[in-house]
Amino acid sequence: MFKYFYVTKNSLAEFFTYRLNFILWRVRVIISILITYFLWLAIYAGQDNIFNYRKDQMLTYIILLAFLTGVVLSTQTFRIAEEINSGNLSNFLIRPLNYFVYNLFRDLADKFINTFFAVIEIGLIIIFLKPHFIIQTNLVNIFFFILSLITAVALYFFISLLLSLIGFWSREVWAPRFIFFIIVAFLAGTYFPLDIVPKSVYRVFELLPFTYLIFFPLKIYLGNIETQFLIKGFSVSFFWLIVLYLLLKIVWRQGLKVYTAEGK
């Protein structure tokens, strides 16, 4: 395993050659969070409870999105499709390495650097906008929050990998990914906490993997540690993890069979 840390190290070094790219990406993340932040601020004007969320809970939710986007949604896996289509995948297949683990450690660099900046930005937001930011101190909440974060990272990693492996069969990998971005933005809870929708719709959301990328960890952070909520949440997450993992194995094996190592 340790040999892959060099991948993280090189990926980090690579980041600094594309500083402008990275800065603009951060700007994008922050702007989208600020928009959501001010939107909710306006909705809460004059009242303190909407959809069972207090104002400070809602604003904390939105601000922490920056952190979760960094930890969970940062990925370089879209490069896989490019590597498959350009034939550069060959350079990985020819070496004794596990391509998935390699990608995990490449993502680690991405997550590390995005999270690092997210934390600074959150600090700035709290200093300048002075929202009532909830700091969770209950160790049980923090424990389950971290556990749900790890689950979320794995879920997102698996789904992203699967999407990139489409590259084995089609050159048009950006369309599915784009739809995926929109689905995640909506169904993971990056615009609003998912449980403000009608109960019947939320029942469906609960069964989808997307719910557990953002909403579930944040809900735990904000204080929801009802046993039933946790058991249900983690069971559905683990169910999806197993399904996605098996699917990945099959798709990867089939993909390699049709891989043509083009361009050489």
As a whole number of angstroms, the longest Cα–Cα distance in the chain is: 65
Of 93, 119, 242, 250, the residue at the interface with another protein (CB under 8 A) is: 93
| Residue from 32, 76, 90, 224 in contact with another protein (CB under 8 A) | 90
Query: Footprint of another protein on residues 30-49 (CB under 8 A)?
Result: none
CA-wise closest residue to 72 among 172, 186, 151: 151
261 binds another protein (CB under 8 A): yes
Q: Interface with another protein by CB under 8 A: which range of 25-33, 82-90, 121-129, 239-247?
A: 82-90
Q: Cα separation of 192 and 176, whole Å? A: 23
User: Phi and psi dihedrals of 261, rounded to 5?
Assistant: 50, 50
- Nearest-approach distance from CB 26 to another protein, in angstroms: 20
Q: Which is nearer to another protein, 97 or 183 (CB)?
A: 97
97 contacts another protein (rule: CB under 8 A): yes
Site for another protein in 13-32 (CB under 8 A): 13-14, 17-18
Cα–Cα separations (whole angstroms), residue 236 to 133, 158, 229: 30, 15, 11
What is the contact mask toward another protein in residues 173 to 212, using x (rule: CB under 8 A)? ----------------------------------------
Nearer to another protein, 76 or 90 (CB): 90
One residue of 42, 45, 94, 139 binding another protein per CB under 8 A: 94
Question: Which tokens go with 235?
Answer: 């069971």
Position 257 contacts another protein (CB under 8 A)? yes
Considering only 22, 23, 87, 249, the residue that binds another protein (CB under 8 A) is 87
Judged by phi (left if over 0) then psi (alpha if -120 to 50, else beta), residue 87 lies in: left
Cβ 216 vs Cβ 187: under 8 Å: no
DSSP secondary structure of 106-135: HHHHHHHHHHHHHHHHHHHHHHHH------
φ, ψ for residue 198, nearest 5 deg? -55, 145
The DSSP 8-state label assigned to residue 192 in this structure reads S
CB of 99 to another protein, least distance (A): 10
User: Which residues would be at the binding site for another protein (CB under 8 A)?
Assistant: 2-7, 10, 13-14, 17-18, 87-88, 90-91, 93-97, 256-257, 259-261, 263-264
